[in-house]
């Protein structure tokens, strides 16, 4: 029995030793694997066009996310620059050479008044300029590689998908590669400039404009189909996102070709700037109570309709170019920034404030296109011509006829006066100078000599 017990104990000890050895080997293998994995990620991070201070703070998930974004960017750059070998992108030159900081980069971003973006077909954010943090409060490295749908309003997702698609319904008109739309993006910046948590972020309206670039065998182009006739599987939306300034935060003073107006929620004028008198000929008094929809050209109804649908759905909008009617006839080209103002207590929409930018002078001034216009009354020039001056005395000293009046009215007590006789007035026609008569000057010198 003791031998059996000793054998069992020996076997158990041997099993425990073997188990510990396997565990130790497993730990060593895992440690080695993690070490090699870390080396791979460090090497991968070093290939990213980032400074060492930034790349050293990235975790593995961020490195993978940014690496995928950079590969897509290299793919685009290689296709645009035709840097291809056997229809495959040669990314080695890009991987070996980091993008160097340009002296003028900050000036380019400052001139944008927004940030540039590249979106992939599935909605991934391929690239954002560094100044995106100025408008959203979120850093560039945190957004690149993420899905645009995670940072935009759920009600805008269908519109974003429509902007990113190249497939069209045969019953619909062809899809344009030029894209203009408005989206609400999460913003962690408060009105006082402080940065809050992403969960407490509010939505900010951005005007996005760009172009859909489609990749085919010849590189990137504006065509939605490959030369072989098949739809292209790769395309990117490249554009610029610009914030719409709130009327209370406009830093630049309005110039002489800009006027401000305030409207009720049915877009009737409540207030209008005095500049409209100089620009369009209307007075502030006659604008109050009028509908804004009556002052645009009839052919621009689609532009106004789409813009104000976006306004009441998203809170802010910038209209396309439309024609604003002038009081005396004709129209001017205008762009309007509109903002819905909410009640400070109830947070319900209360009014709409519009900033109108005049882009042209008055065109076609003689055309009357609406009942709000009235032409300038024509002035009778004959009334401004002075009376004809009679230079001849022939009519002035004409002989008296029977239908002339009998002379001056005299009181009864003066009828017997010698100076005013009651008989007919004498004919003075003989006093009229005859034609061709001589003019005898008065000799004042001789008169002075007698004195």
- pLDDT (tens digit per residue) in 359-394: 999 999 988 888 888 876 666 666 666 666 555 566
Residue 41 has pLDDT above 70, yes or no: yes
Cα 183 from Cα 169, distance rounded (Å): 24
pTM: 0.70
Residue 419 CA neighbour count, 13 Å, CB half: 4
Confidence band for 85, pLDDT divided at 50, 70 and 90 = very low
Mean pLDDT (the chain, rounded): 79
What's the start-to-end Cα distance of the chain, in Å?
A: 185
Q: Please state the φ and ψ torsions of residue 406, each to the nearest 5 degrees.
A: -85, 5
| Cα 301 to Cα 5, 143, 294, 298, 369, distances in angstroms | 99, 38, 10, 6, 13
Can you give the pLDDT at residue 92?
A: 47
pLDDT tens digits for range 170-217? 555 556 788 999 999 999 998 777 888 888 899 999 999 999 887 765
**What pLDDT does residue 39 have?**
86
Mean pLDDT of the region 96-114: 66
436: confidence class by pLDDT, cuts 50, 70, 90: low
Residue with tokens 């229809």: 87
Question: How high is the pLDDT of residue 33?
Answer: 86
* Mean pLDDT, rounded, for 299-310: 94
pLDDT tens by residue, 63-79? 899 989 888 888 777 65
Pick left, alpha or beta for residue 281 (phi over 0 → left; psi -120 to 50 → alpha; otherwise beta).
Answer: left
């Amino acid at each position: 029995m003791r031998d059996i017990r000793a054998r069992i104990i020996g076997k158990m000890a041997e099993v425990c030793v073997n188990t510990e050895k396997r565990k130790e080997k497993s730990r060593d293998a895992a440690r080695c694997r993690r070490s090699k994995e870390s080396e791979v990620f460090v090497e991968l991070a070093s290939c990213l066009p980032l400074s060492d201070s930034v790349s050293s703070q990235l975790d593995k998930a961020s490195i993978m996310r940014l690496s995928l974004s950079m590969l897509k960017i290299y793919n685009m750059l290689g296709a645009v620059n035709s840097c291809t070998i056997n229809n495959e992108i040669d990314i080695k030159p890009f991987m070996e050479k980091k993008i160097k900081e340009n002296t003028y980069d900050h000036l380019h971003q400052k001139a944008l008044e927004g940030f540039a973006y590249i979106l992939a077909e599935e909605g991934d954010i391929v690239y954002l300029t560094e100044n995106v943090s100025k408008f959203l409060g979120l850093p560039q490295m945190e957004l690149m590689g993420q899905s645009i749908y995670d940072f935009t309003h759920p009600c805008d997702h269908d519109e974003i998908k429509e902007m990113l698609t190249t497939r069209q319904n045969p019953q619909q008109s062809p899809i344009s590669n030029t894209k203009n739309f408005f989206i609400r993006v999460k913003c962690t910046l408060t009105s006082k400039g402080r940065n809050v948590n992403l969960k407490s972020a509010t939505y900010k309206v951005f005007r996005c404009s760009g172009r859909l670039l489609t990749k085919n065998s010849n590189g990137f182009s504006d065509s939605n189909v490959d030369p072989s006739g098949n739809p292209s599987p790769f395309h990117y939306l490249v554009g610029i996102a610009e914030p719409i300034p709130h009327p209370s935060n406009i830093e630049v003073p309005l110039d002489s070709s800009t006027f401000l107006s305030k409207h009720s929620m049915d877009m009737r004028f409540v207030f209008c700037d005095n500049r409209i008198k100089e620009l369009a000929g209307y007075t502030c008094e006659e604008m109050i109570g009028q509908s804004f929809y009556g002052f645009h050209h009839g052919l621009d109804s689609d532009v106004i309709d789409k813009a104000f649908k976006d306004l009441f759905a998203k809170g802010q909008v910038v209209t396309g170019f439309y024609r604003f009617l002038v009081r005396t006839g004709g129209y001017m080209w205008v762009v309007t920034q509109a903002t819905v103002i909410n009640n400070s207590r109830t947070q319900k929409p209360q009014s709409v404030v519009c900033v109108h930018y005049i882009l042209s002078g008055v065109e076609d001034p003689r055309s009357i296109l609406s009942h709000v216009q009235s032409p300038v009354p024509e002035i009778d020039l004959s009334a401004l011509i002075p009376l004809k001056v009679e230079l001849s005395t022939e009519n002035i000293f004409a002989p008296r006829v029977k239908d002339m009046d009998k002379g001056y009215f005299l009181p009864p007590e003066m009828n017997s006066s010698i100076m005013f006789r009651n008989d007919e007035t004498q004919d003075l026609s003989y006093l009229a100078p005859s034609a061709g008569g001589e003019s005898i000057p008065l000799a004042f010198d001789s008169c002075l000599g007698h004195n």
